[in-house]
Amino acid sequence: MSEKMWGGRFAAGTDSLVEAFTASIQVDSRLYAEDIRGSQAHARMLGRVGVLTASEVEAIVAGLQQVGQEIAEQRLPFVDSLEDIHMHVESRLTEIIGDVGKKLHTGRSRNDQVATDLRLYTRSCVDDLVAALRHLQGVFVDLAEREVETILPGLTHMQVAQPVSFGHHCMAYVEMFQRDAQRLQDARKRVNVLPLGAAALAGTTFPIDRWDVARQLGFDAVAENSLDAVSDRDFVMEVLADLAMIAVHLSRLCEELILWMSAPFGFIDLPDSFCTGSSIMPQKKNPDVAEIIRGKSGRVVGDLVAMLVLMKGQPLTYNRDNQEDKETFFDALDQVRASVEIMSRMLPGLQTRPTVMRAQAERGYATATDLADYLVRKGLPFRDAHAVVGKAVRLAQDRNIGLEAMPLPDLQALSPLITEEVYQVLTLEGSLAARNHLGGTAPDQVRAAIARARARLAEEQSA
């Protein structure tokens, strides 16, 4: 006869290969603290509604506390025969306090239990990741403030477009990670719904108080439909989608860091402690950390796709397929959290090479648009101004000089509207000063944007 907690209906034990294949303890063991906490809340509620006596509740809560301590101290061995963290906790509890431990599972199923554990764990991870993103935003704000005066050639199509403040460029990532944090906070609302009480799928005949458990565990709501409660993994897919987007933003950042550090660009240098060398080429300093984060983005996107495919064919309600939800989810959480942390540590040591950046901006005729805008302000239609400046760029290219080095008579030959004052907008500083919209790229406007971002972060962190 099977010795499983569910084995009463079975005449034979589980094949050892099946036990190893179906066990999830090596993955879901990280849910032990949530399982302990949820079980204690469930026991207290059973005591309040009269299903358990006060002494039984006291024994169960204390016993669970001991189980949790044993797991935290790695004194409780995990075995495949007990399948998952829930069975390990209940089995050890019963060993400690006797048959009273067998009463803990009254009025619930592993179906609603694991859903509760996973929501508690997800909520905690979301809160932690939002805090980490806020810290990363602060790192970018500090970097932006340090590099306000540094001129960077802004690119479109990987071609020099217009000059921007490197501080302004850094602030773009502050906005990206702001949206990431907001998405996670919004998803948290849908995570923070209690499924416990749905039992296997149809609720329980015991007079449980679900709102009592919800209040104990800090849930904002209880699941309305028991079928949906045990089978819903939308919250996992939603958070995974948010993680994938964070990973994509980190990957874009890493792509820039890798390019900027390469010899053809030479814009920045990353700290030695975040780079590695070559086993054969002594001169190499490789941005391995950035490359690995960029690589992990594909892994996280793959975790999202795996979860979507996992759920797409499942009928209501709970299916054992859902055991596979945690490995990919935990992987994505781990990879994104680690990537955010290491990026926060690496960026403060980033060193810019302003002279190289400036030379690249000058080489790419970055002030051409400013010359066109100058002509428009003089009364020339934009399309005509565009044509005039295009000819000016071609002439400068033929002479291998910048627009700011073009003699005034040569510019006036292209358009009589051009006067001496044109050279004010042909310099990189003049170009920056001319564009102050959307937070601006000129130093004063970037500083104002930094101040607003600092105030916003302070307000969000205090909240």
User: Looking at 105, 168, 278, 339, which residue is catalytic?
Assistant: 278
Instruction: Specify which residues 156 forms β-bridges with.
Output: 159
- How do residues 233-243 score in pLDDT, each as one tens digit? 999 999 999 99
Query: What does each C-alpha distance from 275 to 251, 292, 342, 446 come to in angstroms?
Result: 17, 11, 12, 30
State the pLDDT confidence band at 4, using cuts at 50, 70 and 90. low
Element (H, E) at 269: strand 268-269
Indicate if 168 belongs to the active site. Answer: no
Look at residue 452 and give its three-state secondary structure: helix
- Eight-class DSSP state of 436: -
How many whole angstroms separate alpha carbon 4 and alpha carbon 110? 14
Distance of CA 82 to the CA centre of its chain: 34
Mean pLDDT of 58-72: 98
Residue 146 CB partners (closer than 8 Å, separation 6+) = 167
- Eight-class DSSP state of 29: G
- Quick one: pLDDT at residue 158? 95
Residue 20 scores a pLDDT above 90 = no
Instruction: Specify which residues 153 forms β-bridges with.
Output: 163
State the pLDDT confidence band at 13, using cuts at 50, 70 and 90. confident
Residue 104 scores a pLDDT above 90 = yes
- Quick one: pLDDT at residue 173? 98
- Quick one: pLDDT at residue 79? 95
- How do residues 113-164 score in pLDDT, each as one tens digit? 999 999 999 999 999 999 999 999 999 999 999 999 999 999 999 999 999 9
Look at residue 424 and give its three-state secondary structure: helix
Q: Which of 25, 234, 241, 38 is nearest to 121 (CA)?
A: 38
Token digits of residue 414: 């292209």
Q: Which of 154, 55, 138, 217 is nearest to 450 (CA)?
A: 138
Single-letter amino acid code for the residue at 38: G
* CB-facing half-sphere around the CA of 183: CA atoms within 13 A: 18
Q: Which of 299, 320, 305 is nearest to 83 (CA)?
A: 320
Mean pLDDT of 167-171: 97
- Eight-class DSSP state of 462: H
Residue that has been written with the tokens 């980490």 in this structure: 132
- Quick one: pLDDT at residue 3? 61
Residue 440 CB partners (closer than 8 Å, separation 6+) = 168, 446, 448, 449
Residue that has been written with the tokens 């207290």 in this structure: 44
Are the C-beta atoms of residues 235 and 209 closer than 8 Å to each other? no
Token digits of residue 287: 């941005």
What's the chain's average pLDDT? 95
Indicate if 226 belongs to the active site. Answer: no
User: Which has the minimum average pLDDT: 1-5, 188-192, 269-273?
Assistant: 1-5
State the pLDDT confidence band at 1, using cuts at 50, 70 and 90. very low
State the pLDDT confidence band at 437, using cuts at 50, 70 and 90. confident
Instruction: Specify which residues 286 forms β-bridges with.
Output: 276
User: Looking at 16, 109, 157, 262, which residue is catalytic?
Assistant: 157
Are the C-beta atoms of residues 181 and 132 closer than 8 Å to each other? no
How many whole angstroms separate alpha carbon 389 and alpha carbon 414? 8
How many whole angstroms separate alpha carbon 461 and alpha carbon 463? 5
Render the burial of 404-437: b for 16+ CB within 10 Å, e for the rest: bebeeeebeebbebbeeebbebbbbebbbbbbee
- Quick one: pLDDT at residue 2? 44
Element (H, E) at 9: none
Q: Which of 441, 209, 243, 208 is nearest to 335 (CA)?
A: 243
- Quick one: pLDDT at residue 7? 66
